[in-house]
Amino acid sequence: MSENQIRDIALAPTGHAKINWVKNHMPILNQLEKEFMASLPFRGKKVAICLHLEAKTAYLAKVVQAGGAEVAVAASNPLSTQDDVVAALVEDGITAFAWHGATTEEYTAHLNALANFKPDLFIDDGGDLTSLLHSQYPQYLANIIGGCEETTTGIIRLRSMANDGALKIPMIAVNDALSKYFFDNRYGTGQSVWDAIMRNTNLVVAGKTAVVIGYGWCGKGVAMRAKGLGAKVIVCEVDPIKSIEALMDGFQVMPMVEAAPLGDFFVTVTGNKAVISEEHFKVMKNKAIMANAGHFDVEIDKAALEKLANSHQETKPNIEGYQMNDGRILYLMGEGRLVNLACGDGHPAEIMDLTFALQALSLVYLLQHSDLPAAVHSVDKSIDHRVAQLKLTALDIAIDQLTEEQTIYLNSWQL
Ligand code: ADE
């Protein structure tokens, strides 16, 4: 067994408390845990998990372990790791390679350690583990049954790999399941981003201007919740269809260069690089606050910000102030990393319950379909529906069923 690489095992007690709290709010995973304990679907298998290492992820790792797996974890972002949660996992027999604030070298070493765990199955978030396994450890790929990918950014990378003929294992695109992006991307991101901004800034949102850059499912959630908090919302988009959607959802739409001088809060959610850049920093208001909610810390051009500023310092935890020559100060949250995880606890437990149930059941699916070709696969519809149904059952909500005549009517085509 590999040596754990963690901050401090003595932190475990608060980690256990956090995991127990979310466990009490994740009924779908509770149900799967019970089933897995009885059927042991992962018996004899090694499962690597590369996700944001906070309490909900920890509970997922424990559910997979309850299904008979040997589990190892590493972080998918150096700032989202909660050291007490990781310590609790280690106390519970899960191998961990992660600590909060890991340098790029340490983060890479942790990922390498996870690859060297030689998993049979894995879960990735953003594609770093998948990319590392393919580029540095091709000798391990033959033994890998498959993997699951959590996020939009990771799936974009997977499709690039597949297009280049570089993808050598089956990967399940968990992000693209309806029970994932309808809820996690929209309501999860919408709530957790504003939670992180508000708890760290302690400022009012009502009456201010919030600029949301990117109107995918995450951007829709961030804009919707900003409106709910009383902000005037501007959306910046490059896609004409999404731009019309934002307009009809009631938001102002304009190019970023026009929005830059108007915003009090800026949230990037595009998956692309430098969507806030030098030309925008130059015209932003004094005390504007910038946060990123996309997977990588590339959306806000930090290098350009540093170049423009005459100094910068931590104004308070999670908020860096950049002093401009003209006297303005611009604030960047969480070093431009995913604000909801770097400066908060990520999505609410009840939302991650859906996502992580999809992850757990997709791992079982991979085991049951070990002949899947090396490609990007959708989550099986039956899994998507089962997770949604389990959620309704947990909420004690009954819904109507089609009658036999209605089913026949929907399947008929003759005049
Ligand atoms: N918690 C664990 N993984 C997460 C994710 N991908 N997004 C938000 N919260 C999370």
Instruction: Pick from 52, 123, 181, 356 the residue to mutate for probing ligand 1's pocket: most ligand atoms within 8 Å of its CB.
Output: 52
303 and 206 co-located in one domain? yes
84-135: pLDDT as tens digits: 999 999 999 999 999 999 999 999 999 999 999 999 999 999 999 999 999 9
Q: Is 400 part of any domain?
A: no
Write the residue with the smallest CA distance to atom 3 of ligand 1.
52
147-187: pLDDT as tens digits: 999 999 999 999 999 999 999 999 999 999 999 999 999 99
Question: Residue 2's pLDDT band (boundaries 50, 70, 90)?
Answer: confident
Q: How far apart are CA 379 and CA 368, in angstroms?
A: 13
Please state the φ and ψ torsions of residue 21, each to the nearest 5 degrees: -60, -50
Q: Is 297 part of any domain?
A: yes
Question: Residue 1's pLDDT band (boundaries 50, 70, 90)?
Answer: low
254 and 193 co-located in one domain? yes
Q: How far apart are CA 145 and CA 221, in angstroms?
A: 35
30 and 146 co-located in one domain? yes
348-367: pLDDT as tens digits: 999 999 999 999 999 999 99
The CA 151 to ligand 1 mean position distance, Å, reads 9
Q: How far apart are CA 6 and CA 110, in angstroms?
A: 10
State the average pLDDT over residues 49-74.
98
Cβ-contact 118, 143 below 8 angstroms: yes
Cβ-contact 315, 332 below 8 angstroms: no
Q: How much is the pLDDT for 225?
A: 98
40 and 160 co-located in one domain? yes
Q: Is 200 part of any domain?
A: yes
Question: Residue 242's pLDDT band (boundaries 50, 70, 90)?
Answer: very high
The CA 56 to ligand 1 mean position distance, Å, reads 8
Q: How far apart are CA 85 and CA 16, in angstroms?
A: 7
> Ligand 1 — pocket residues by CB below 6 A?
51-52, 54, 56-57, 125, 150-151, 188, 340-341, 346-347, 352
First to last CA, the chain: 67
The CA 284 to ligand 1 mean position distance, Å, reads 30
CA 290 vs. chain centroid, Å, equals 19
Question: Residue 316's pLDDT band (boundaries 50, 70, 90)?
Answer: very high
214-227: pLDDT as tens digits: 999 999 999 999 99
137 and 191 co-located in one domain? no
Pairing between β-strand 121-124 and β-strand 209-213 as defined by DSSP bridges: unpaired
The CA 98 to ligand 1 mean position distance, Å, reads 16
Q: Quick one: which of 83, 66, 67 has its CA closest to 75?
A: 83
Q: How much is the pLDDT for 188?
A: 98
Instruction: Pick from 189, 338, 355 the residue to mutate for probing ligand 1's pocket: most ligand atoms within 8 Å of its CB.
Output: 355
Instruction: Pick from 60, 123, 124, 125 the residue to mutate for probing ligand 1's pocket: most ligand atoms within 8 Å of its CB.
Output: 125
Tell me what percent of the residues of the chain surpass a pLDDT of 90: 99
Q: Is 411 part of any domain?
A: no
Tokens of 310: 């005459």
State the average pLDDT over residues 18-40.
98
CA 232 vs. chain centroid, Å, equals 26
22 and 52 co-located in one domain? yes
Write the residue with the smallest CA distance to atom 10 of ligand 1.
346
Q: How far apart are CA 399 and CA 187, in angstroms?
A: 22
137 and 286 co-located in one domain? no
Beta bridge partners of 276: 300
Closest atom, ligand 1, to C-alpha of 150:
6
213 and 172 co-located in one domain? no
Q: How far apart are CA 75 and CA 86, in angstroms?
A: 10
191 and 160 co-located in one domain? no
190 and 168 co-located in one domain? no
34 and 161 co-located in one domain? yes
Question: Residue 415's pLDDT band (boundaries 50, 70, 90)?
Answer: confident
Q: How far is CA 342 from CA 93, 199, 292, 298, in A?
A: 26, 12, 10, 14
User: Residue 380 gets which letter from DSSP?
Assistant: P
State the average pLDDT over residues 263-271.
98
The CA 189 to ligand 1 mean position distance, Å, reads 9
The CA 1 to ligand 1 mean position distance, Å, reads 27
337-349: pLDDT as tens digits: 999 999 999 999 9
Q: Total domain count for the chain?
A: 2
Write the residue with the smallest CA distance to atom 9 of ligand 1.
346
The CA 149 to ligand 1 mean position distance, Å, reads 12
100: domain CATH number is 3.40.50.1480
Question: Residue 321's pLDDT band (boundaries 50, 70, 90)?
Answer: very high
Q: 381 lies in which domain range?
A: 9-180+347-394
106 and 47 co-located in one domain? yes
